[in-house]
Structure 1
Amino acid sequence: MSANQNTVNITFRNHVIPDENASRKAGRPIFHDMEVCDLSFPANRQTKATYPAHDAEPNATRESIAAGGSVVTYAQLYNKQYLAFKDGNAQPLSGTPLSEAPFLKEGKRRELKALGVHTVEQLASLDGTPLKQLGMGGRELKNQAQAYLDNAAGSADITNLAAEVVALRQQLAEERRLREEFMENGKPVKGAVAPADEPEQKDDEQPSQDEEEEQDHGIPPTVEEIEAMDDEALKVYIAKETGSRPRGNPNHDTLVAAAKELAMVD
């Protein structure tokens, strides 16, 4: 795997190198600029490396070629930083800046930055000797950083799920409205799906037990029953309650949340 951009410090710069052959021919010193990429690691003063910006990055290139792609250079792998360097702008960090970490005081932020730790992700990734560089309380800082990231990820999941459920609810409400217009007007409405014709039932025919169960809408499923349903069963239930199957391919959690809302259970 290539170096995780959240746990490495990446800087592009121009490096001046002498051209010995050109200098001998010209009888004066000749230099060329070479764009290079400096890599360093948080709280680790021993591990640093510099590579030509347009050389192939070995790990990323190996992965790319295995997937049928081509060579990946350092400039391509760390493209945000490279483009900022070319534009003369400050090269962006990849991750959450320490300034956004509520569990850190300003003095500790400055200490960490002096050690080359600039993001919450870098702090959470520290282990072994780099972690020891933080001194007493370093393990607690690492744990706080990881807890912050975990909580943020959980909040994002909840927000995304809520948005998907709202979108599904709006879709089903619109389809229900179109179906009601169809039934009231007796003519097609753009976007509405005509209900299938039901076979005529003779007076002396009694509905089967399965049919009676299908017609029974009075008892909604329990939370346990909903959570035991697979995706297809959830879509069938939603279609039965709303008159329309969910469009697209909503994920399982979205379908469960929508079914619970229709059944009015938590």
Structure 2
Amino acid sequence: MMKILPMIPKWGIRGKLLASFLVSLGPLILLGYLLAWERDVLPYLILAGLLSLLLALVAIWWLTRPLSQLTCRALNMVEEFIPEVSAKGGDEIEQLAGVLESISTQLTRALAERRMLYSIGQNSTVYFDLDNILSEIAESAVELLGATSGVIGLWDKEKQVFRDATLVNLPQELLEREFPIEESLTTHVVERGHPIVLDDYSTYPRRLTLLDSYQFKGAIGVPLLVHGECIGSLVVLTTDPARRFSAQDVELLARFANQAAVAIQNIKL
């Protein structure tokens, strides 16, 4: 027995289970031996049962001792960690939670962007309905940027006028209008040829007074470029006063504008 026990830890949990089973089986083997020689076996039966129970309890303790030690270590680590967290006031944990939430939001947004751009790219190569493609692009941009409304407008170089090609949550009557280069944010983007970001559209000098009832706040406009030439613009607006569009939002909107420019170029070809 003394030679077997030192080897048991090397066997792991399976070895311990086997050893415990064999040890607990000892009294039963002894009982079988006595039954072969004695008729009055009741005292021996009781004794064998008690020994088996005792050995089983010892085996259970032996098997669960490592788990108990591990539990004690874990509790000690938690007890040591809690005062440290309390001493720091939880500021680091709040900062970490904020960082993790920001990363999660960015990943979700990036996946949604890839899914939308892939869908737009597929539709652009399969379908040749420019109105539907531009409508999908504008709706996707509004959704992904958390905006309220959006518009894609095209510049008619020959007539020197601007026409809205698709609208999202805006008056449909705008589709019938022609805008000079000096009017509206969409034409301003075409005139300048680069993105424009507004924190308060309601104070923008070139705003459309027709949209004053919407009480738009933040807005972004990016150009649609084909071989360096601006052929239109993509604009999104929000009514949320707390929403401030960032440089990352401009880059994202520019990718949608690029898809629109590619679709227009492909269909015209």
TM-score greater than 0.5 by the shorter chain? no
Larger Rg: 2
Higher helix share: 2
Q: Give TM-score scaled by structure 2 length.
A: 0.29
